[in-house]
Copies of this chain bind each other. A is one copy, B any other.
């Protein structure tokens, strides 16, 4: 019934492109390097850190991990970030969040300079998304969604997009990025009534699910021929990793010509490639 939009194929294409760019940079004596800064031992942070290092190794990109005890003073963390800002060998900084509660999130994240903010966490990067100017960088998950659509030949221009979820890391930045790409974008959320949610979702050419409510979207929200980008990650009814889409229910529904990203192996698998893509762009713009 469906076309599955695997992240793997997108990754291969991006990695080929990045390899070419890295060769050009190396020829100029530039070795792209990422600094990864982690505070505490959050398993999610460690998982993402490992994935980023693995992707960096695959691309022969240098990486430097710095881990702090979760009780570190905020000033000490900011001091380290400032040193990385000034370090001409470092082209991008991945600062894992959320920080421990004794820290001022605004202050810490905005201590990264926009030129090295390859995870798109600073106000400057957010402003760049709102204005459509290329200040800072787009956050990796929204960028992954757009890259998957591009790879599979699903243009955004003039398309009706519905995004379910309005978080600062996915829904809001993605809605702005897609508006900048000339899509007609509707944002729904937890306060949207079910009948409106069904109308907005089923009307969309491209539906993005980013609610975190695992397996909550069934066939009644969908229509034939849609593209569905599933950003959710959770544990499904069968105990395995699953997205916001109830994929088993949808499979049996008789809906036709759906194109959808799987969970796992979909959006999530493309985020580290986006991080590397931002890093290489940073190295190109500011080689030293």
> Please, how many angstroms separate the alpha-carbon atoms of A186 and B203 in the complex?
12
> Please, how many angstroms separate the alpha-carbon atoms of A287 and B131 in the complex?
32
Cβ of A191 within 8 Å of any chain B Cβ, yes or no, is yes
Q: How many copies of this chain are found per oligomer?
A: 2
Query: How many chain A residues have a CB neighbour from B under 8 Å?
Result: 29
Residues A168 and B131 in contact in the complex (CB < 8 Å), given A184-B186, A191-B157: yes
B184 touches A184 (CB 8 A): no
Residues A176 and B172 in contact in the complex (CB < 8 Å), given A127-B127, A130-B126, A130-B130: yes
A199 touches B203 (CB 8 A): yes
A35: min CB distance to chain B, Å = 25
A188 touches B184 (CB 8 A): yes
Neighbouring B residues of A158 by C-beta, 8 Å: 191-193, 196
Report A166-197 residues with CB < 8 Å from chain B CB.
Answer: 166, 168, 172, 175-176, 179, 182, 184-189, 191-193, 196
A199: min CB distance to chain B, Å = 7
Cβ of A17 within 8 Å of any chain B Cβ, yes or no, is no
Residue of A124, A166, A168 contacting most chain B CB atoms (<10 Å): A166
Residues A179 and B189 in contact in the complex (CB < 8 Å), given A127-B126, A130-B126: yes
A184 touches B179 (CB 8 A): no
A172 touches B130 (CB 8 A): yes
Neighbouring B residues of A182 by C-beta, 8 Å: 189, 191
A34: min CB distance to chain B, Å = 26
B189 touches A187 (CB 8 A): no
